[in-house]
Each structure stands twice: as structure tokens, then as C-alpha cells.
Structure 1
Amino acid sequence: MTSSIAVQDDNASSIAVVSVVDAHEKASQIAQVSGEYDPTDAAGLFAEDPESRPPVFKSALSETVCMMTFFFVPMMNSSNQGAVQLCLTYLSSYFGIEGSELSWTVTSYTLVAGSVFLLVGRLADIIGRKRTLIFAIIWYSVLSLCMAFVKSAIVFDALRGLQALGGAAAPPSAVGIISLIYRPSKRKNHAMAMYAAGAPVGYTIGVVVGGICVEYISWKAVNIFWTILYSLVCLFVWLLVPSDENLIKMSNYLIITGGGTTIQPINKTWPGILIQLQGLDFMGAALSICGMTIFIFSLTSASSAPNGWGTPYIIALLIVSVIFMVIFVLWELHCKNPLMPMYIWKFPGFALCMSVVFCGWLTFQGVLMYYPSLYFQNIRNYSIIKTTAAMLPLAISGILTNVGVALLLHKIPGRVLMFISMICFLASSLLWALQPIDILYWAMPFPALAIVIVGADLTFNVVNHVSLAAVPPNLKSTAAGTFNVVVQLSGAIGLAVSTAVVTSQIGTDITNQDPAILHRGYKCAYWFAVAMSGVGAILSLFQKIGTQGGKDSLEQDKIAIKMSERVQKPERSSKDNEATAS
């Protein structure tokens, strides 16, 4: 093979154009690779027919079990949230806390997860997605076990924050793996639908697990259950997911065949990984973590601050967080190896798609997943187990929706599905906002719960495909991290604003008041959801997302590779001129 490609040395931040053989000799020096390989040999890791089983799986059973295992990855965050929200009353009694102290039990996890998504997504691309996924699940399981035995609220909240590191690192790693194993096809749609179901359906699973454990055992049993479950998940990941070596080979093959030139060294040893980590954007990581942490902290603390949003330190923190974020964007625009490649926002339709997701997930996570459980417990006086039963339509509707999505993504354009998802959010918000206090469950709450999960599943499926298509194969986990940042931010903003709306009507206590007063306050939050989902529906009309797994998606990787190459072209040209002169 005589064509020229380029190898990026993250340690020296340089790119040199060389032959394939020389490129891999250079990669060996950088990453301490044992042996060389021809990138085109990785063609055998892909199926000739995209609709057939990938050769990296030894059997159809191993492929099926592996994809079912990925279902539990995005479930880590949503099920955790659902279980903790359901157990808040018991946690308050056990630890002797309430008000702002109790709110930190929920927000400590969101605070850390939302702050590190960008960093852990980039780390997964560098050190290996399977390595990162296994470490994240082990970390999550160990912290879950520790939380079952603590007796201090401060320690419990701190452990939840540490646990969020695992919950943040796992989803970008899993998405990056799926995006490499499968080429655009109906088979990939099925795999992504299986993965995507874990996020919205996971919340309901968390509520069910939390309800059963609290009602019949103890709230501590919830954490022990997560430890057992994710220990098994980790075992299946280790046994069934392709090795990082094969995943990098597949990534390099796709880059070269897609017209790209920058390939990734194969790191088999930790010394080689540490060398490559020297090229990580540490400044960008620091800026993003500081900005996101302060921003989410100020949002989640505003409702419990002495003067609410008017409290001086809340205003100051918001201003500081915005300054950090602006500096982060400016830094990323000029950084050689950015934590978040800014050209991702120039990919056709990506920025508009993220705007629609922001409106939809702000409604879904910030209002429609938070207030229904409060409604059932504080207004309808449902027990924990009855509240759990009332939320079951979320799981049933979610499973059915994902089956339908897997079968329709290659037929129905994404712009149509996104519009339908926003209409579902809008319809659910209206049902909650208009319902009387004593309405029959089956008349309005039931359809509202069944509809909202349709919107969430449609959004999660379509946007996962769009975000993955916006970057070359070696940055898939980075793109997934960007998407998850948008999701976390929108949820935090939605909950903060909706809480402010409710407290402005009924005061700071949104749980222990007369049911009629609570109902009036909750309805204000739902009208806010109506407004935001309506904005999302209008924005979705301007999207141009095509089908996934069909003709519209065949060239997406090549487009992303070419955009990446154009960003690196000026630097590469200067290096070429220097090489020619010498």
C-alpha cells in the first residue's frame, strides 16, 4: 500500500504526512504498540452486508446479549434518579435532614455528572472505550455498595457525587462502541434503539425498584440491588464487547476509507496510554468543569437560598459560570486538540437539533418526570407502592416505542420523528396543566404518562444518531459526551426554573401544604412546560434530518471526516512545507 496518511502525535501536537508503513512505525514509537498492522486488514472486522451480524460477535446469541447489556448503561443515571426521588421521604427521616440539605441528595449526582461529561467522553476516545466502560461500571457498583452502609447525610451525598463519575463515563463509551461495530443500517437502528430505551425506561425501573425495596425491605436495599445488577453487567461487557484494539482498528479503517488521514495509535499498555494522555486538553477540561459545576450549583441552590434568585451569591455564581463557559468556547476555538471539537456545531442540522433537544428535555426531565410523583404522593395521598404502580405506563409505553422506533428509523425522516416527539411533550404538559385535582387516574394522568415517554424515546433515538454522525469515528464518544451535556444542562435548568415558578405561587415548601395549594402550584410548572415544548415543536419544523440506516445516512461519516480534515488542513500544510524545505 503506497498511499499517504497522517499520524497525530498527541504528545508533540504535530501531524506528519508519511506512508502507511511509516505511519505505523511512528505510532509504535508513540504508543508502544507491539507489532504493526495494515489498517485495511480491519475490513474483516466488518460484515460485507451491513444488515448481517458483525464478525466481532461469534454468534447471534452473543450479539443479542451484548446489545441487551448496553440497555443498562444509560439506565445507570435515570434509574438512580428515579429511585432516589421516590425514597426522599425515607432518606429525610433516616438522616434527619430536610429542605436544602435534602435537595443535595438529588443534586449532588447531577452536579458532578453534568460537569464531567465532556472530559470522560474524550478520555474514552483516548484510553479505550471498553476500558472506560468497564472501569465506569465497577466504580458505580462499588460506590453503590458503600452508600448502603453510611449513616451520615454528608457522606451519602459525597458518595453520590463520586458515583456520578461512573454514571457519566459509561454512556459515551457505550455509544462510541455501538457506532463502530455497526455501519448505517436497520441493524444499527435496532442496536441504538435497545441502548436508547435505557434512559427513559430506566427512570421507571428506578421507581419500581425503589418502591418495592422501600415498601418491603429498606431503602438501603436499593443500593445493594444496583451493586448486584451492575456487577453482572460488567461481567457481560468484559466477555462480549470487542477489544479496544479491534475497535481502534475499525475506527482507523473507517477514517482511511472515508478519505481521512489522521489515524489513532493502538495502545496496548498503560505507559502508551499515559503518553497519549499528555495531549489531552487539560485547560479545556478545567474550564468546562468549573463552568458547569458553578452553573449547575447556582441553579439547584437558588430555590433554597435565603432570597431565592435574588440572593447575591446566586447572581454572582451565575455570572462567574457564564464567564468560565465563554472562556471555554474561546479556548476550544484555538486549541489544537480540543476537548469539544467546535466544528461539530457546524455539522448540518446539529446546532438546531440540540436546540430542540434542549426544549424537549427541559420539559421532560425538569417538569414531567419530577412533579407527577409529587402529585401522586402529596395530592392524591398514594403510598409508595401505589405511586410505583401509577408510574408503570412509562415503562410499558417506552418499551413499545423503542420497538417501533427500531422498525421505522430507516423509513421516517428524523425531522418528522422530532416534531412528533415535541407534540408528545406538548400534549402531556397540557393534560397535566388542565386536569382537575380529583380527576380519575385513567382519564388524564395515565395518558399523560404514556405519551410523554414516546416523546423522550423518539428524541433520544434520533439525536443519538445525529450527534454520532457529526464527528469522525475516532471522536464518537466525545460527541456522545456533548449530547449528554446538553441533556444534563436542560434538565437542571428546567427543574430550577419550574421550581422557581412553583415557589413564586405557593412558597418554598412544595411538598407539605394543603393539596389544593400544591395542585395550583404544580399546574404553574406544567404551563411552563407547555410553553417550552411549544417552542421546541416550532423549532423542529425547521430541521432537515433524514432517515437513519437508509440512503440519507450512508455518507454521514465521510462528511464528518472531511469537516475534521478541513480543520486540521492549515496546520498540516505548514508541516508539509517544512518537510519539503528540509
Structure 2
Amino acid sequence: MEHDSKQDRELSHSRSKEFVPEKLHADVHSPSGRSLARSIAIVATCTAAMLTNTANSTSVSISLPVIGRALNIPQDQLQWLLSAYSLSSACLLLFFGRLADLYGRKKAFLIGTSWQVVFALGIGFSKSGITLDVLRAFQGMGAAAAIPSALGILANAFPPSRARSLAFATFAAGAPMGGAFGNIMGGVVTQLSDEHWRSTFFLSAGLSALCVLGGLASFDPDTISTEADARLDWIGAFLITSGLVLVVFVLGQAPIAGWKTPYIIVCLIIGVILVAIFVAWEHHLEKSAIAPEKPRSFWTPPPLMKLSIWSRSKGRMGVVLVIAFLNWSGFTAWVLWVQLYYQNYLGLTPVLAMVRFLPMFFMGCLCTFFVAIVVSRLPLVVFIVMGTLVTGSACVLFALIDPTATYWAFAFPSTTMVVFGADFVFASGTLFVAKIAFPHEQSLAGGLFQTMAQLGAAVGLTVTTIVFNSVVDAQSAKLGVVVNSAGTNVPMSAELQGYKSAQWTSAAFPFLGCLLAAIFLRKVGIIGYRKDVDQDPGEQTITEQQPDAL
């Protein structure tokens, strides 16, 4: 009985420390003597990596018709130039995030960005669609290593302070700015000639090379992991990576092959089962980790992802992750359908379509400064509710669009508004995650946030594509037109109705996120640094004694 009581006291003591991550930041953050120029270089390098990652998708998206003509890629296979990249990057974020935490974030970032340089160059010289698809998948692996590492580097380099708020807000702006930059880059070079699409990948290689140089010159040396047991959960890594690969593959391929296709059904079932097994396996490992009487073995490494991370701050961590999923579902779908509306319905050239996205770039910059200035004054719920509400409203504006109206009536306000959710949710969400994550799991936590956003993008595109196809078929049938497999004989009125319905569906995702934030995040409070409160970085952390600190 005395032995049991001692174990209970030890377990209670360990649990009482579970949510005091920021008290450890003083032991691991970078030297206080770092110059301002070097600090700026760290933020710029991480933001450039995020910008390049997003641009790698949007620049290819706007170039798809040109690439298809140049390499004779069938229309129904073009989407794999996008899906191959997102498939590998989304499904490996957790795994590479954990590797970065264990073996060094600077090392993982440099390897990831160097990897992107090599494969971007390879894509630029590709001569066939299959080669392009394979190399795009390898390119995405580099992003999976670089992005969570960048988040961990920022969290480690900037302890709770105004500098951290500015760093995360700037990094968050990399996503929408990268989206706009990718559209500009892809639109301009593909307008010149069919072969100039290769320049987008050469430019991507150049940007990644700059990230490598920036990381070498500015990043602090890697710190040794503070974990007593630094083994990697290879079984969990295999389960979650394999499961997500199959699920994301189905989301990308099912709208083309059909949901009733046998291999689609089989892949979906196996993928869901693998993810479920991963959850059960991580639960087993987390229980084993807090049972000191159990000896270490190959079957009891530290979990790849503690399931308890979802329940931190009374479950608000899980709510923030779900909101990231929902917001990116709406934002990514908006971008896709607006591009198609401009080029396929209005018949605009890539350059003219690109110009219409420029307001998104400038508004993204303004949102970044706004978040950095007021994040220490407004609670988290304000940023999340405002961001998701404005993004959803942007989708509604395009759902109500009148093609005969001027660009300034519907398209311009929608383009300026849609970026609010991307900036506000990403900046405040990653700040929240960094605030409650342990120092030794910063990259993993950042990777988890990114994984939810990437999965949200895949789901948003799939769901809105289903809605678009269903509405187009129904409207065409009413007009007595049977749509062919290539979709080249769709009546204009049916196509317009499809775009509008897809945008209504896009709006539903951020609006649901807005509702969740209003209900569950009301008591989170301010997550930015406040000098009058945060004198000690550890005072505003989540503990079992302070469950409502956030």
C-alpha cells in the first residue's frame, strides 16, 4: 500500500507539470544577445519558406492548362500535379515535425529546403507528365520537413514577447502572400509561351535556395532534445502516414474516378482503419508513458503524438485545430473556384486572372501588421470569429456574383475579405499552439496545426467539387443537355450556377468555424504578450491549477 501511494504521488506530481510548457522556454530559447538584424533574418527566412510552400501550389494551379498542352497530359490527370505535392506534404507533417523536435529543427529545415531546391530543378527539366507527378510528390516531402521546423524555430527563438507575436503574424502572412505571389508568378510566365511554365519551378528552386542560405546565416544552433526517452514511434509514424496518404488520395481521385469505383472504396476503408488504429496505438503509448512500473521496450516508445494534446486548455486546443481545418476548407475552395470562374467562365487570360488576385496580396500584408499590433490587446476569440466570419462572407459575395456587374461590385470586396481568415486564424492559432505546447514538441504541434489545415483544404476541394458537378449535371439536364465526360458542352447558365453553389458550400466551412469559436473559445483570453501581465514567461501558461489561464 505504501508503494502504491508513492506511485500515486509521483503520477500526480508528473500530471501537475503537464501544462507548464512555457516555464521551460527560458532554458531553451536562443541567446539574448542576438542582434535585431539576425532576428529579422530568422523571421524572414521562415516566412519565405511558408510563402514558397504556398506558391508551389498556386503557381502550378494557374499553369495547369499550359502544362497539359506542353506535355500532352490528359485533362483528367492534370489535377495530380497539385495533388501529388499536397499528398506528400500533408501526410508527412507529423512525422517530420517529430523528427525535427528530436534531432534538430535547423537541421530539418535546411534538409527540407535543400530537398525542395533539388526537386524543383528536376521538375523544371521534366519531359513527361508521370515524371512531373513523381517529382512533385518528392518536392512536397521537403515542405513537410521545412514548415513544422520553421514553426518550432520561431517558437524557440522568440520566448513570449511582442517579438514572438510579430514573428508568428509575419509567418502567417506567408500563406496568403504566397498564394497571391504564386498566382502572379504562374500567370505572368505562362502567358509568355507554353514552355515558360518551367520558369515557375526554376524560380521556386531559387526561393528555396535563399531559404537555405538564410537558415545557415541566421538560425540559432540546434538544442538537444530535453526528453529522457528520445526514441521515435516508428509504428505510429507508419500508421498515420499510410492512413493519411490513402485518405487524401481518395479525396483527390474520387471526384474524377467516382466514389463507387472499387479501388476508391477500398482505399478509403483501409485509410480510415489505419487512422483509427493510430489513435488507439497512441492512446496505448501515452498510458504506458505515465506507468513507471512498465519496463521500456520496442513496443513502448514515446507516442508520436500525445492524444492529450487535443484536450489541453479544457479541449480548446482541439477546437482551434478543427477551426483551422474548417477555415482552410473554405479559403482553398474559394481560390480554386474563383480561378476557374475567371478563366473558364469569363475566358480571361492567366495574366488578367492573376491581376484580380492582387488585392489579396496587399490585404494579407495589412492583416499581418494588424494582428501584430493588437494581438496583445484582444482575446483569441475576437481574431478567430472575425477571421472566419469575414472569410465566409467573401465566399457569399462570390456566390451572389453577377457576371455583368463590374469587378468592383462583387469580386474586389470578396478578394480583399477572404484573406482575413487565413491571416487571423493562422497567426492567432499558431500563437495559441506555441503557448501551450512543450518546448520539445513545438515542431510537432506546428505540424499538427498544418496537417489539419492541409486536410481541410483537401476536404474543401472535394466537397465543393461534388457540389459543383451535381449542380451542373442537374441544371444541364433541365435544359436537355447531357454533359460529356470532358465537360466541354456545359451550358453557360449551368456552369455559373455550379460556381455559385460551390461558393455557398465554401462559405459553410468558415461559418461553422465561427460558430465553434463563439461557443468554445470565449474564455481563452489574450494570447499575445502583455508587459503588465507577462513579466514571467511562465505565469500565463496552462496548468491544472490555472485551467482558465487561456
Q: TM-score range by the shorter chain?
A: 0.7 to 0.9
Q: Which whole-Å deviations, capped at 9, do the CAs of 1:18-75 have from their partners, x for residues lacking one?
A: xxxxxxxxxxxxxxxxxxxxx999769667xxxxxx42x2x22222222112211112
Q: Which whole-Å deviations, capped at 9, do the CAs of 1:536-562 have from their partners, x for residues lacking one?
A: 221110213321213489448853799
Which of 353, 357, 361 is the equivalent residue of 2:320? 353
Q: TM-score, normalised by structure 1?
A: 0.80
Greater shift in the superposed pair: 187-196 or 93-102: 93-102
Which of 500, 516, 540 is the equivalent residue of 1:523? 500
Q: 1:415–1:511: structure 2 CA closer, same or farther, 3 Å change rule?
A: farther
Q: 1:209–1:41: structure 2 CA closer, same or farther, 3 Å change rule?
A: closer
Name 1:311's counterpart in structure 2. Answer: 261
Which of 497, 504, 513 is the equivalent residue of 1:536? 513
1:490 offset after TM fit, Å? 0.7
Whether 2:192 is the aligned partner of 1:240: answer: no
Name 2:373's counterpart in structure 1. Answer: 407
Name 1:229's counterpart in structure 2. Answer: 207
1:310 offset after TM fit, Å? 2.6
Name 1:35's counterpart in structure 2. Answer: none
Whether 2:506 is the aligned partner of 1:549: answer: no
Distance between the aligned counterparts of 1:530 and 1:85, measured in 2? 21
Distance between the aligned counterparts of 2:504 and 2:68, measured in 1? 30
Name 2:236's counterpart in structure 1. Answer: 284
For the residue of structure 1 that corresponds to 2:458, the secondary structure is helix
Q: Is the 8 A contact 2:282 2:307 kept in 1?
A: yes
Name 1:294's counterpart in structure 2. Answer: 246
Whether 2:469 is the aligned partner of 1:492: answer: no
Which of 453, 462, 475 is the equivalent residue of 2:428? 462
Q: 1:472–1:44: structure 2 CA closer, same or farther, 3 Å change rule?
A: closer
Q: 1:45–1:476: structure 2 CA closer, same or farther, 3 Å change rule?
A: closer
Q: 1:443–1:235: structure 2 CA closer, same or farther, 3 Å change rule?
A: same
Alignment of 1:126-137 (within 5 A): 126-137=102-113
The letter of the residue matching 1:407 is: I
1:511 offset after TM fit, Å? 7.4
Name 1:267's counterpart in structure 2. Answer: none
Q: Is the 8 A contact 1:464 1:483 kept in 2?
A: yes
Name 1:74's counterpart in structure 2. Answer: 50
The letter of the residue matching 2:525 is: G
The letter of the residue matching 2:524 is: I
Q: 1:202–1:510: structure 2 CA closer, same or farther, 3 Å change rule?
A: farther
Name 2:82's counterpart in structure 1. Answer: 106
Distance between the aligned counterparts of 2:281 and 2:369, measured in 1? 42
Q: 1:60–1:317: structure 2 CA closer, same or farther, 3 Å change rule?
A: same
Greater shift in the superposed pair: 322-331 or 220-229: 220-229
Which of 392, 411, 423 is the equivalent residue of 1:426? 392
Whether 2:187 is the aligned partner of 1:211: answer: yes
Q: Unmatched 5+ residue regions in structure 1?
A: 1-16, 18-38, 48-53, 253-261, 265-275, 564-582
Which of 534, 537, 559 is the equivalent residue of 2:542? 559
Q: Is the 8 A contact 2:388 2:420 kept in 1?
A: no
Distance between the aligned counterparts of 1:394 and 1:200, measured in 2? 7
Q: 1:387–1:133: structure 2 CA closer, same or farther, 3 Å change rule?
A: same
Name 1:580's counterpart in structure 2. Answer: none
Which of 83, 98, 104 is the equivalent residue of 1:122? 98
The letter of the residue matching 1:368 is: W
Q: Is the 8 A contact 1:469 1:556 kept in 2?
A: no
Distance between the aligned counterparts of 1:206 and 1:199, measured in 2? 10
Distance between the aligned counterparts of 2:490 and 2:115, measured in 1? 40
Greater shift in the superposed pair: 146-155 or 93-102: 93-102
Q: 1:510–1:524: structure 2 CA closer, same or farther, 3 Å change rule?
A: farther
Distance between the aligned counterparts of 2:204 and 2:389, measured in 1? 34
Name 1:151's counterpart in structure 2. Answer: 127
The letter of the residue matching 1:410 is: S
Distance between the aligned counterparts of 1:469 and 1:60, measured in 2? 23
Q: TM-score, normalised by structure 2?
A: 0.84
1:530 offset after TM fit, Å? 2.5
1:313 offset after TM fit, Å? 2.6
Q: 1:236–1:520: structure 2 CA closer, same or farther, 3 Å change rule?
A: same
The letter of the residue matching 1:402 is: T
Q: Which whole-Å deviations, capped at 9, do the CAs of 1:415-469 have from their partners, x for residues lacking one?
A: 1110001111221011011111222111110110100101110010011012222
Name 2:336's counterpart in structure 1. Answer: 370
Whether 2:265 is the aligned partner of 1:328: answer: no
Alignment of 1:147-226 (within 5 A): 147-216=123-192, 218-226=196-204
Name 1:571's counterpart in structure 2. Answer: none
Q: 1:82–1:560: structure 2 CA closer, same or farther, 3 Å change rule?
A: farther
Distance between the aligned counterparts of 2:401 and 2:130, measured in 1? 39
Q: Is the 8 A contact 2:155 2:442 kept in 1?
A: yes
For the residue of structure 2 that corresponds to 1:151, the secondary structure is coil
Q: 1:528–1:510: structure 2 CA closer, same or farther, 3 Å change rule?
A: farther
Q: 1:123–1:556: structure 2 CA closer, same or farther, 3 Å change rule?
A: farther
Which of 279, 293, 306 is the equivalent residue of 1:341? 306
Q: Is the 8 A contact 2:29 2:159 kept in 1?
A: no
Q: 1:316–1:562: structure 2 CA closer, same or farther, 3 Å change rule?
A: farther
Q: Is the 8 A contact 1:350 1:467 kept in 2?
A: yes
Whether 2:360 is the aligned partner of 1:394: answer: yes
For the residue of structure 2 that corresponds to 1:426, the secondary structure is helix
1:183 offset after TM fit, Å? 1.5
For the residue of structure 1 that corresponds to 2:406, the secondary structure is coil
Q: Is the 8 A contact 2:124 2:199 kept in 1?
A: yes
Distance between the aligned counterparts of 1:556 and 1:179, measured in 2? 17
Q: Is the 8 A contact 1:377 1:387 kept in 2?
A: yes
Name 2:407's counterpart in structure 1. Answer: 441
Q: Which whole-Å deviations, capped at 9, do the CAs of 1:384-428 have from their partners, x for residues lacking one?
A: 111111110110000010011110111111111100011112210
Q: 1:282–1:516: structure 2 CA closer, same or farther, 3 Å change rule?
A: same
Q: 1:531–1:511: structure 2 CA closer, same or farther, 3 Å change rule?
A: farther
Q: Unmatched 5+ residue regions in structure 2?
A: 1-13, 15-22, 286-300, 474-484
Q: Is the 8 A contact 2:191 2:349 kept in 1?
A: no
Q: Which whole-Å deviations, capped at 9, do the CAs of 1:480-532 have from their partners, x for residues lacking one?
A: 11111101111101101110111112246567744332211111111112222
Distance between the aligned counterparts of 1:477 and 1:233, measured in 2? 18
The letter of the residue matching 2:93 is: F
For the residue of structure 2 that corresponds to 1:309, the secondary structure is coil
Q: Is the 8 A contact 2:148 2:444 kept in 1?
A: yes
Distance between the aligned counterparts of 1:346 and 1:355, measured in 2? 12
Distance between the aligned counterparts of 1:40 and 1:344, measured in 2? 17
Distance between the aligned counterparts of 2:540 and 2:139, measured in 1? 34
Name 2:482's counterpart in structure 1. Answer: none
Q: Which whole-Å deviations, capped at 9, do the CAs of 1:287-333 have from their partners, x for residues lacking one?
A: 0011001101111111111xx22323322222211111110000011
Greater shift in the superposed pair: 513-522 or 320-329: 513-522
Q: 1:510–1:463: structure 2 CA closer, same or farther, 3 Å change rule?
A: farther
